[in-house]
Structure 1
Amino acid sequence: MSIGGRIMASQLTIGIVIAAALADSINPCVFGVLIFLMGYMLTAFKSKARLLIGGLIYIATVYVTYFLIGLGILSAAYSANLTNSLYMVAAVIAILAGILEVKDFFWYGKGPSLQIMPGGAERIKKYTYKFSKFNDKHPAFNMVLAVGLGVLVVFVELPCTGAPYLAIIGLLASGEYSNGVPLLLFYNLIFILPLLVILGLVYTGKASKQLEAWRKKHRGLMRLFIGIFLLALGTYMFWLAS
């Protein structure tokens, strides 16, 4: 990457960070898993107050786990002096992922698609079912379960949701490390905002089945928005590098 490109890329705007985090968080993969878990928690926790606490613990775990993954990638790139390589790989992945997302607007689920790890959804349901039986004897275990599910879901969803995050990490790697860490924290704060909205809707009485119906109805548009954004972001990154 040219020195000029490095200077420009280091001046990553808050607007780009916000847009990428929102594109990341409105992914149908994220919504689908969270809606399922909120439905489970509402049944398992037996009260809305405990649902709220468990949901907040789950979302906080997602925040911390997602941040630590980003920090690990960023730190490794600096330590191995691979920041330029990470930048270019992230730009390529952003464009390829964008193409697949746009494709899903027209032919949803047909051909190659960004999706959670194979068997990931079944694994999440399997673990929640097993833990639900244990919860009958030890209700407090629900809170521990919320932490475990938060970590599990982040890793299961990464193949489906990670492209915007990787692109931002690539941009951050082109600047100073000390500037990148606060922006990673901010990115993940924006990332969890839609999750908090869904939690609030379930807590105030919005049925998880209604939310899932809404997700399925609009998932194509979600994919289209994410795809257009990723194509624009990847192109922008190549332009900075030129």
Structure 2
Amino acid sequence: MLIILHCSGSTLLGEEGSPVVFDYYGEIGCTHCDLFAEKVLPQAEEEAGIRASANYYDILSRSGYERCEQELSRRGYEFTVFPVLVIGNNVYQGNSAVEENLPEELIHFAEHGEYRPRVPEKGTANKSSPVSLAVVPVFLAGLIDGVNPCAFVTMLFFISWITLRGGGRRRILLSGGAFISGVFIAYLGIGFGLLAFLRSASAMDLLRLAVRYLFAGMALLLALLSFKDALRAGSGQAGTMLLQLPKGLKRRIHGVIRRNPSGKGTPVVPLLIAFVVSGFIVALLELACTGQIYLPTIAYMLQSGAGKGAGIQIFWLFVYNLAFILPLTGILVLALAGVEQQFIRDWFSRHIPAGKTAMGLLFLLLAVLIWFGGV
């Protein structure tokens, strides 16, 4: 079988002697496109007993996208989602529609010597919804990241510091809300940058494989270290855990928090700006620890979101970061409700082993999903 990779959009001829020629528009270099070329197409050929020649086009390039739109328009279709399979009289959009109908097209050609008649468009376009099972690991990762010691203990210190400065519940609510907003903005911005970088790297075969194997291996290693930390915390040695912020960074984070304006007479606007900036800086400093979950999760977003459009991955970034700040918001709510700080600390200390075990299981899940291209 001859596969012609083409990214510029000009017409290419299929393999000489192949009766069936079709066009495939996808994100060249993504896992789903690789699976199509290496597994889906060969299986469909074997099932039909006929050879096929594929012209591959990069739909993320301007020429590839314009060619796809022109081909669909000529056949009376509208573009909805990629990948797009154009074969004979039909157009199939989305992974499920492509994988389901390609064998049927080849079998029909093998039996009748001509392309399949046009299939009703209903049910052939597979529009991707951001609300799917693929988002569940993203939400869980953000939630678990929010309760890992790096972020959780910092928030406890912050709430304690605000409470000791006084000012009433309103001041605690405003300060805490501003701090959490700063954390959210910083983390979301970091996520956008990392996702854009990994998407660019994935466009190159060597780097794409490196992203896949590196992050799958990283997730597996972090799973083992998390399980080891769970054992240490369970035996009363939480201070010796491997996956935690270095003492130097902890001191810097505490210093950033202490430099915030604390006088009761501080105007509200400067106070809010100061705490947003503090939350932003603290999030950057914590990345050395919280990034242990964030990086593999973004790699999973890239793998599982391939072929579903950048909008899905952006939605997942928001889901992750909203889940990340949920535990931090919970601490703020408890503080406003009058729950003693020591009670929260004791509860957290008792559940560190369980939290580390959950992190280990999450890393194992991410390793599997990244390796096999998501869900």
Note whether the superposition's TM-score is higher than 0.5: yes
| Partner residue, 1:160 | 289
Deviating more after overlay: 135-144 vs 219-228: 135-144
Post-superposition CA distance 1:143-199 (Å, at most 9, x none) = 233112211221222222223221221122231323211111111111111111111
Q: TM-score, normalised by structure 2?
A: 0.58
By how many angstroms is 1:58 displaced?
1.1
Give me the whole-angstrom Cα distance separating, in 2, the residues matched to 1:112 and 1:48.
35
Distance 1:129 1:200, change over 3 A: same
Distance 1:166 1:5, change over 3 A: farther
| Partner residue, 2:148 | 27
Distance 1:181 1:83, change over 3 A: farther
Please give the residue correspondences for 1:97-136 in structure 2 after superposition, counting only pairs within 5 Å: 97-108=222-233, 109=238, 113-131=242-260, 135=263
| Partner residue, 2:332 | 199
| Partner residue, 2:220 | 95
Deviating more after overlay: 196-205 vs 84-93: 84-93
Deviating more after overlay: 19-28 vs 124-133: 124-133
Post-superposition CA distance 1:16-63 (Å, at most 9, x none) = 111111121121221111011011112225111111111111111111
By how many angstroms is 1:120 displaced?
1.5
| Partner residue, 1:186 | 319
Give me the whole-angstrom Cα distance separating, in 2, the residues matched to 1:62 and 1:164.
16
Post-superposition CA distance 1:91-141 (Å, at most 9, x none) = 2221111111110111235767111244121112233334456x4674644
Name the structure, 1 or 2, with higher relative contact order (CA <8 Å, separation 6+).
1
Given that residues 54 and 143 in structure 1 are in contact (C-alpha distance below 8 angstroms), is that contact kept between their aligned partners in structure 2?
A: yes
Larger Rg: 2
Could you tell me which runs of 5 or more consecutive residues in structure 2 were left unpaired when the two chains were aligned.
1-30, 38-94, 97-127
Q: Is 1:69 matched with 2:174? A: no
Q: TM-score, normalised by structure 1?
A: 0.86
| Partner residue, 2:350 | 217
1:238 maps to amino acid: W
Given that residues 114 and 159 in structure 1 are in contact (C-alpha distance below 8 angstroms), is that contact kept between their aligned partners in structure 2?
A: no
1:40 maps to amino acid: W
SS in 1 for 2:373: helix
Deviating more after overlay: 124-133 vs 178-187: 124-133
1:217 maps to amino acid: R
Given that residues 12 and 172 in structure 1 are in contact (C-alpha distance below 8 angstroms), is that contact kept between their aligned partners in structure 2?
A: no
Give me the whole-angstrom Cα distance separating, in 1, the residues matched to 2:267 and 2:344.
26
Given that residues 24 and 191 in structure 1 are in contact (C-alpha distance below 8 angstroms), is that contact kept between their aligned partners in structure 2?
A: yes
Which has the larger share of helix? Answer: 1
Given that residues 117 and 156 in structure 1 are in contact (C-alpha distance below 8 angstroms), is that contact kept between their aligned partners in structure 2?
A: no
Which has the larger share of strand? Answer: 2
Q: Is 1:143 matched with 2:276? A: no
Deviating more after overlay: 78-87 vs 171-180: 78-87
Decide which of 42, 50, 53 is 2:174's aligned counterpart. 53
2:221 maps to amino acid: L
Distance 1:99 1:27, change over 3 A: same
Give me the whole-angstrom Cα distance separating, in 2, the residues matched to 1:33 and 1:112.
16
SS in 2 for 1:240: coil
The alignment covers a number of residue pairs equal to 239
2:334 maps to amino acid: L
Give me the whole-angstrom Cα distance separating, in 2, the residues matched to 1:145 and 1:207.
26
Distance 1:93 1:137, change over 3 A: same
Give me the whole-angstrom Cα distance separating, in 2, the residues matched to 1:138 and 1:191.
29
Could you tell me which runs of 5 or more consecutive residues in structure 1 were left unpaired when the two chains were aligned.
none
Distance 1:196 1:107, change over 3 A: same
By how many angstroms is 1:235 displaced?
2.5
